[in-house]
C-alpha cells in the first residue's frame, strides 16, 4: 500500500521512520542510547571523523568495492544485464565491516574499552573482531550454538582475531537469541561497553547509524553506474535479513524514483509459519529487540521460530526503515526459497567464478528471475553482500541432504 | 485511585512497608500460580507482580528466563493467564500487577489489554521495555481506566529524567537497584540507599526497590528508604522446584522463605 510519500529525512528525533522504529528498551539502556545518539551527531559534523572513516574504508577495507558486469551470467540468463556490487571483496569478505569500522571509531570517541556484538552468519562477528583488533578494543561476540555449528570457519577467525565467542544456548540458538544475550550483557556493562549492533535493527539510533555507515554501498554504486553504464541502473536487488546491506544499497537510491528497488527475504522451505524468515512477506507490525517493525509473532506477541538455511537471514524481525519502505511502496519485498538460493549459488560459481555467501545467493536468485523477463538494455544491480567460503561445508551438507 | 494507591495510603498511615513477590504466570501451570498467590497472601504479602511469559525478555536473568521458557513450552496463552488472574484477583486483598513486555501489549491491542486486565481486577501494569518517552499513549489509556502504569528508574537514569519519570508513574515508582538484569545478588550497590534517598525528596509516590533483593539482610537495609521491596528470582527459583517436587512441599518452602523476608520488614 502506498499511504504516504517516502522521505529520506528519516528517522525523526524519536527514531521514527513513519510509524516504525522508536526505542522499546529497558530504562537501563536509555542513557547509553542517548549518549550514542549525541556522539554520532557530533561525529557527523566532525570533518576529522569523516576523513578518518574515509581513509580507513579506502586503505584498510579496500573500498571502493568494484561494480562488476557479470557478462557470462547475463548471457546465460538471456535478459537484463546483471551487475554485481562486490561487497564480497571487502576486507573480511562482506559489507559488515563498513559498519564496524564506523562504530569502532564511535567507541573510541565515547572512551569505551570493551565492545560486544551479536552475530548470525559470523560475518558481523568477524568484522567486529577485526575492528576491535585494529583499534585495540576488547571484544565479546554472542553467537547461537546452531550458528556456531553451521558457520564454523568464522568462529575460528573471530578467535584468531582475539575475540571471545560466547555460545548462546537459549531459544532457537540462532541470531535472535544472540541479540537477546548481547542486550543482557549490555544491561550490566552499559557504562564501560559499546554494543556494535550489526544490522539496521534494534532501538534508535542503531537503525540510522548502521544505515548511514552502510550507505557507502549505494553511493558508490550510483557513481560507478554513471561511470560504467553512463546512467543509473533500472533495478537494484539486495537480500534482507535484518537488512543492513539492503538499507545501505537502497538508501541513496530512494530519491531516484526511476530505479526499482527489490528486497529479497529468506523464503526458506515455503510460506508455512516456521518454514521461512520473511516478516515483510508474511509478518505483522510488532515489537522485537527494541524497535517497532514487521516481525514474525504469534497472536499473543510471542516471537515465532523462523527458518532459513542461511544463518545471516535466519531472523524473525527486520529493520524499521524496510517496514517504512514497504508501506510507502518505495521498495518491493519478495522472498526466495532455500533451494533457489542454492541453485543461484551454483550458477554464479560456474558462470562467473564467484562463490557468493548463502545470504547474497538469495539476491542473486531473485535477480536471475527478474532479469529473464527484461530487455537486454535493462541494467540490474545485485548487492553481492558477502563471499561464500564460510558456507562451503554447510553447502556440502545441504547438498548431500538433497540427493 | 487504583487499588495500589489505597494500599500504600493504608501502609503509610500504619507506618508499614510492602513486600511484593514476583511470580511467573504458568510455571509449572496456572493452577499452581494461583495457589502460590493465595499462600503468600496468607503469609502476609501485600501486592504481587505477575510475570507474563515472553519469548525474548532482555531485562531478565537466567532464572526468570528459564521460567518463561518452561511456561511457553507448555503453550500457555495470554487469554488463559488473564482468566486465572480474573479468578484470583477478586479473592485476595492484595493488588495484582502484570509485568508484561510491550510486544505482548501492542499485539493484544493497547486498549484491549488494559480493558482485559482492568475488568478482571488487575490493578496495574509494569511494561519494562516501554520507557517513559514511548509511554504516553498507554499512560492515557491506563489513566482513563484507573489502572496504574508503574515506571522504572535505574542507577544510570540521569536525575532530571528520573524526576520526569516520577511525574509520569502512577501507583508506585519502581527503583531498579542495579544496572543489570534480574537475579539474586549477595551485594547491592553501595550508593543504593543514597540514590533512593534522593529520589524520595523528589516525589511523594511510593518507591519500591527491585532487582537483586533476596535476603532478610537486604530487606532490613532497604526498608528505611523504601515503601516496598520486590523479590523475583529468589521466589521463581523456589517455585521452579514444583516442576519436580510435590507441590505442597514447594508451596510450604516458598511460604517459609517469604516469611523470613516479611519478618525483616
**Local structure of A120: helix, strand or coil:** coil
Query: Which H or E element spans position A367?
Result: helix A358-372
**Local structure of A315: helix, strand or coil:** coil
Report the alpha-carbon distance of residue B117 to residue B138 in Å, rounded: 13
Q: Which residue ranges form the domains of chain B, and what is each CATH number?
A: 3-150+229-264 (3.20.20.70)
Q: Which residues of A carry out catalysis?
A: 96, 118, 385
**Local structure of B232: helix, strand or coil:** coil
Q: Are B127 and B135 in contact (CB under 8 A)?
A: yes
- Stretch A360-379: mean pLDDT, rounded? 98
Report residue A401's pLDDT band, with 50, 70 and 90 as the boundaries.
Answer: confident
pLDDT digits (tens, 9 = 90+) for B62-79: 999 999 999 999 999 999
Chain B positions in Cβ-Cβ contact with residue A284 (cut-off 8 Å): 107
Strands A16-17 and B124-126: unpaired
In chain A, pLDDT over 70 holds for what percent of residues? 99
**pLDDT at A167 (0 to 100):** 98
Chain B positions in Cβ-Cβ contact with residue A287 (cut-off 8 Å): 101-103, 106, 129
Q: Are A266 and A241 in contact (CB under 8 A)?
A: yes
**pLDDT at A171 (0 to 100):** 84
User: Is A300 within 8 Å of B108 when comparing Cβ atoms?
Assistant: yes
Of B60, B105, B157, which has the smallest distance from its Cβ to A31's Cβ?
B157
**pTM tops 0.90:** yes
Mean pLDDT, chain A, rounded, equals 97
pLDDT digits (tens, 9 = 90+) for A192-215: 999 999 999 999 999 999 999 999
Chain A positions in Cβ-Cβ contact with residue B154 (cut-off 8 Å): 26-28
Q: Tell whether the torsion through CA atoms of A291, A293, A298 and A304 is positive or negative.
A: negative
Q: Are A306 and A265 in contact (CB under 8 A)?
A: no
Report the alpha-carbon distance of residue A114 to residue A335 in Å, rounded: 37
- Stretch B28-32: mean pLDDT, rounded? 98
Largest CA distance in chain A: 56
Per-residue CA distances from A87 to A323, A339, A347, B103, B156 (Å): 24, 23, 19, 35, 39
Mean pLDDT, chain B, rounded, equals 97
pLDDT digits (tens, 9 = 90+) for B226-246: 999 999 999 999 999 999 999
The residue of chain A nearest to residue B126, with distances taken between CA atoms, is A26
Candidates A362, A353, A400; CA nearest to A384 is A362
pLDDT digits (tens, 9 = 90+) for B78-123: 999 999 999 999 999 999 999 999 999 999 999 999 999 999 999 9
In chain B, pLDDT over 70 holds for what percent of residues? 100
**pLDDT at A382 (0 to 100):** 98
User: Is A26 within 8 Å of B152 when comparing Cβ atoms?
Assistant: yes
The residue of chain B nearest to residue A22, with distances taken between CA atoms, is B134
- Stretch A364-391: mean pLDDT, rounded? 97
CA distance A352 to chain B (A): 42
**pLDDT at A2 (0 to 100):** 47
Report the alpha-carbon distance of residue A265 to residue A144 in Å, rounded: 21
User: Is A300 within 8 Å of B156 when comparing Cβ atoms?
Assistant: no
CA distance A374 to chain B (A): 41
Q: What angle do CA A293, A85, A142 make, to 5 degrees?
A: 50
pLDDT digits (tens, 9 = 90+) for A17-67: 999 999 999 999 999 999 999 999 999 999 999 999 999 999 999 999 999
Report the alpha-carbon distance of residue A192 to residue B255 in Å, rounded: 40
Residue A403 has pLDDT above 90, yes or no: no
**pLDDT at B58 (0 to 100):** 95
CA distance B47 to chain A (A): 23
> How many CA atoms are closer than 13 Å to the CA of B222, on its beta-carbon side?
35
User: Is A303 within 8 Å of B55 when comparing Cβ atoms?
Assistant: yes
Residue A290 has pLDDT above 80, yes or no: yes
Candidates A286, A396, A262, A255; CA nearest to A335 is A262
CA distance A150 to chain B (A): 23
- Stretch A108-113: mean pLDDT, rounded? 98
Residue B14 annotated as catalytic? no
Residue B137 has pLDDT above 50, yes or no: yes
**pLDDT at A4 (0 to 100):** 72
What b/e sequence results for B40-79 when a residue is b if at least 16 CB atoms lie within 10 Å of its CB, and e otherwise? bbebebbbbbbbbbbbbbbbbbebbbbbbebbbeeebebe
What would the grid cell of residue A184 be?
543482557
**pLDDT at A1 (0 to 100):** 46
Per-residue CA distances from A165 to A101, A138, B214 (Å): 19, 12, 32
Residue B6 annotated as catalytic? no
Query: Which H or E element spans position A50?
Result: helix A47-56
pLDDT digits (tens, 9 = 90+) for A135-181: 999 999 999 999 999 999 999 999 999 999 999 998 889 999 999 99
Of B58, B105, B106, which has the smallest distance from its Cβ to A184's Cβ?
B58
Residues contacting residue A280 through CB under 8 Å, at least 6 positions apart: A240, A263, A265, A294, A318, A322, A323, A326, A333
Strands A331-337 and A379-384: unpaired
The residue with cell 499473543 is A300
- Chain B residues at the A interface, defined by Cβ less than 8 Å, are 54-61, 65, 69, 72, 77-78, 101-108, 128-134, 151-154, 156-158, 161, 165, 176, 178-181
Report the alpha-carbon distance of residue A270 to residue A277 in Å, rounded: 10
Candidates A263, A383, A234; CA nearest to A322 is A263
In chain A, pLDDT over 90 holds for what percent of residues? 97
Amino acid at each position: 500500500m502506498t499511504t504516504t510519500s517516502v522521505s529520506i529525512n528519516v528517522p525523526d528525533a524519536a527514531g521514527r521512520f513513519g510509524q516504525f522504529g522508536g526505542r522499546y528498551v529497558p530504562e537501563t539502556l536509555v542513557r547509553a542510547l542517548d549518549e550514542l545518539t549525541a556522539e554520532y551527531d557530533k561525529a557527523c559534523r566532525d570533518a576529522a571523523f569523516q576523513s578518518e572513516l574515509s581513509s580507513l574504508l579506502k586503505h584498510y577495507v579496500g573500498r571502493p568495492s568494484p561494480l562488476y558486469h557479470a557478462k557470462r551470467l547475463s548471457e546465460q540468463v538471456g535478459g537484463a544485464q546483471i551487475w554485481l556490487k562486490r561487497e564480497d571483496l571487502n576486507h573480511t569478505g562482506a559489507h559488515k565491516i563498513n559498519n564496524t569500522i564506523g562504530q569502532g571509531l564511535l567507541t573510541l570517541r565515547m572512551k569505551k574499552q570493551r565492545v560486544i556484538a551479536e552475530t548470525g552468519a559470523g560475518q558481523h562477528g568477524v568484522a567486529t573482531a577485526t575492528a576491535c583488533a585494529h583499534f585495540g578494543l576488547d571484544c565479546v561476540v554472542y553467537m547461537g550454538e546452531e550458528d556456531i555449528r553451521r558457520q564454523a570457519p568464522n568462529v575460528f577467525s573471530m578467535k584468531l582475531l582475539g575475540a571471545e565467542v560466547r555460545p548462546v544456548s537459549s531459544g532457537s540458538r540462532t541470531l535472535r537469541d544472540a541479540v537477546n544475550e548481547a542486550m543482557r550483557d549490555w544491561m550490566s556493562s552499559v557504562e564501560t561497553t559499546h554494543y556494535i549492533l550489526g544490522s539496521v535493527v534494534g532501538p534508535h539510533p542503531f537503525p540510522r547509524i548502521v544505515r548511514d555507515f552502510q550507505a557507502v554501498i549505494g553511493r558508490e554504486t550510483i557513481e560507478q553506474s554513471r561511470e560504467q553504464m553512463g546512467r543509473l541502473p533500472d533495478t537494484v536487488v539486495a537480500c534482507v535479513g535484518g537488512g543492513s546491506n539492503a538499507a545501505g544499497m537502497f538508501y541513496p537510491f530512494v530519491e531516484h524514483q526511476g530505479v526499482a528497488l527489490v528486497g529479497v527475504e529468506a523464503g526458506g522451505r515455503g510460506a508455512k509459519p516456521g518454514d521461512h524468515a520473511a516478516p515483510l512477506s508474511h509478518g505483522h507490525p510488532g515489537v522485537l529487540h527494541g524497535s517497532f517493525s514487521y516481525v514474525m509473532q504469534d497472536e499473543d506477541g510471542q516471537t515465532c521460530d523462523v527458518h532459513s538455511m542461511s544463518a545471516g537471514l535466519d531472523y524473525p524481525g527486520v529493520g524499521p526503515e524496510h517496514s517504512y519502505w514497504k508501506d510507502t511502496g518505495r521498495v518491493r519485498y519478495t522472498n526466495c526459497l532455500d533451494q533457489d538460493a542454492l541453485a543461484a549459488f551454483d550458477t554464479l560459481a560456474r558462470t562467473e567464478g564467484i562463490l557468493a555467501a548463502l545470504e547474497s545467493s538469495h539476491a542473486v536468485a531473485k535477480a536471475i528471475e527478474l532479469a529473464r523477463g527484461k530487455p537486454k538494455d535493462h541494467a540490474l544491480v545485485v548487492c553481492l553482500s558477502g563471499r561464500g567460503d564460510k558456507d562451503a561445508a554447510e553447502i556440502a551438507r545441504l547438498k548431500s541432504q538433497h540427493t | 485511585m487504583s487499588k495500589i494507591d489505597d494500599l500504600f495510603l493504608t501502609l503509610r498511615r500504619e507506618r508499614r512497608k510492602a513486600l511484593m513477590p514476583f511470580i511467573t504466570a504458568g510455571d509449572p501451570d496456572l493452577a499452581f500460580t494461583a495457589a502460590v498467590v493465595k499462600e503468600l497472601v496468607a503469609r502476609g504479602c501485600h501486592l504481587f507482580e505477575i510475570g507474563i511469559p515472553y519469548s525474548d525478555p532482555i531485562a531478565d536473568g537466567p532464572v526468570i528466563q528459564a521460567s518463561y521458557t518452561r511456561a511457553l513450552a507448555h503453550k500457555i496463552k495470554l487469554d488463559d493467564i488473564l482468566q486465572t488472574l480474573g479468578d484470583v484477583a477478586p479473592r485476595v486483598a492484595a493488588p495484582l500487577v502484570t509485568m508484561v513486555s510491550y510486544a505482548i501489549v501492542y499485539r493484544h491491542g493497547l486498549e484491549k489489554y488494559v480493558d482485559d486486565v482492568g475488568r478482571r481486577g488487575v490493578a496495574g501494569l509494569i511494561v519494562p521495555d516501554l520507557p517513559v518517552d514511548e509511554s504516553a499513549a498507554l499512560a492515557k489509556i491506563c489513566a482513563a481506566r484507573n489502572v496504574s502504569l508503574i515506571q522504572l528508574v535505574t542507577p544510570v537514569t540521569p536525575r532530571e529524567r528520573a524526576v520526569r519519570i516520577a511525574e509520569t508513574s502512577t501507583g508506585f515508582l519502581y527503583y531498579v537497584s542495579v544496572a543489570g538484569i534480574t537475579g539474586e545478588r549477595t551485594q547491592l550497590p553501595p550508593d543504593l540507599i543514597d540514590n533512593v534517598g534522593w529520589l524520595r525528596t523528589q516525589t511523594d509516590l511510593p518507591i519500591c526497590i527491585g532487582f537483586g533483593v533476596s535476603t532478610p539482610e537486604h530487606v532490613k537495609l532497604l526498608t528505611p528508604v523504601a515503601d516496598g521491596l520486590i523479590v523475583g528470582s529468589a521466589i521463581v527459583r523456589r517455585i521452579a522446584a514444583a516442576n519436580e517436587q510435590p507441590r505442597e512441599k514447594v508451596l510450604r518452602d516458598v511460604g517459609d522463605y517469604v516469611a523470613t523476608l516479611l519478618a525483616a520488614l
